[in-house]
Amino acid sequence: MARLRTLPPDGEQGDRWEAQLRKGALEMAALASLWKSRLYGLEIIRFLENHSRLVLSEGTIYPILNRLKAEGMLTSEWVEAEAGHPRKYYALTESGRARLCAMAEAWTVFADGLSRLLQPVLAMEETR
């Protein structure tokens, strides 16, 4: 498995670039986490950590979920828990599923193109 590296410490430019890349993918990741079943907020955070190495806080995921719900991509409902407090579960709508499919297609085309472009760079890095 390839090791995930961060950009070299060259000031804020590298950090900003990684943050923008990550921010752009979070909506798609949130939708993808709900593809198979409905989940509540903390389950979404854990799912993303376990399946994508994305580590998010509640302060990051809930605004995304609220915006996606307002756009009609998600539904939510409060469910009483047997122990503890009620939990708000999120699920994809048909519009959400359609958007995720379109995003996955665009992401795949984009990532494939960039991977081809970066092959010589990565090959050079391996020979060092």
pLDDT in tens, the chain (128 residues): 344 455 555 555 667 888 888 888 999 999 999 999 999 999 999 999 999 988 899 999 999 999 999 999 999 999 998 888 999 999 999 999 999 999 999 999 999 999 999 999 988 877 77
Provide the pLDDT for residue 126: 76
* Assigned CATH for 16-127: 1.10.10.10
Has this prediction a pTM greater than 0.85?
no
Say how far residue 5 (Cα) sits from the centre of its chain: 18
Closest CA to 44 of 87, 93, 96: 87
